Amino acid sequence: MEVLIASEDIQRRVCEIGKRIASDHPVGIPLLVGVLRGCVIFMADLMKNIPIPHEIDFISVSSYELSSQSSGKPRLVKDLGCDIKGRDVIIVEDIVDTGHTLEFMRQTFLERGPRSLKVAALLDKRPRRLRPVPIDYVGFEIPDRFVVGYGLDYAERFRHLPYVAALSPEELDAEPAARTVGAT
Ligand code: PRP
């Protein structure tokens, strides 16, 4: 496991994004929509760094299931609990990979008439992009490596790590349930 982005660097960047979100929304109360489950740590840290009133909600869209390959067919597993008509909505993602999930969410939300729709993604794996989706707030661009930590998983492991790390092909081939350095 190779650390790609240290915890301190993530915290610094999340703070910057939070301030930018605040300055971009001088009026109104933005609604942050976290995409479960990978968003949870980014969402929690981002909220603490947005110094204006805002609300949160969550959706769940699954396209990877237990595989490391995107099926390319996102599925809405849990919808919003509120109406977004006229709202300033910010989708909060841990990672944009092929872009299929984000494209699906943008289409779904735009049909509901928000006043604005923006996207905040901690990680942008641009080399893998298949759909041309706009991202307003990007934490870090990353290479085409399988990454875990800070909310991201491999077979549901490693989400708790405070940093972003890349798994080697050998680690990806290994039994996912096995305990690996850095995981508890
Ligand atoms: C991940 C991630 C994004 C999506 C990005 O979710 O959180 O939602 O994949 O991939 P894409 O750009 O290729 O569509 P995942 O389905 O792994 O679920 P999780 O957040 O629960 O881990």
Domain boundaries of the chain, sorted by first residue: 7-143
Among protein residues, the one whose CA lies closest to atom 22 of ligand 1: 38
pTM tops 0.75? yes
Q: List, in sequence order, every residue forming a beta bridge with 117; answer none if it has no partner.
A: 89
User: Which atom of ligand 1 is closest in space to residue 125's alpha carbon?
Assistant: 12
pLDDT tens column, 106-147:
999 999 999 999 999 999 999 999 999 999 999 999 999 999
The CATH code of domain 7-143 reads 3.40.50.2020
146 lines ligand 1 (CB under 6 A): no
Q: Which amino acids are annotated catalytic?
A: 97
Among protein residues, the one whose CA lies closest to atom 3 of ligand 1: 95
If you search the block for the tokens 């942008």, which residue do you land on?
124
From the CA of 25, how far away is ligand 1's center (Å)?
Answer: 27
pLDDT tens column, 1-40:
999 999 999 999 999 999 999 999 999 999 999 999 999 9
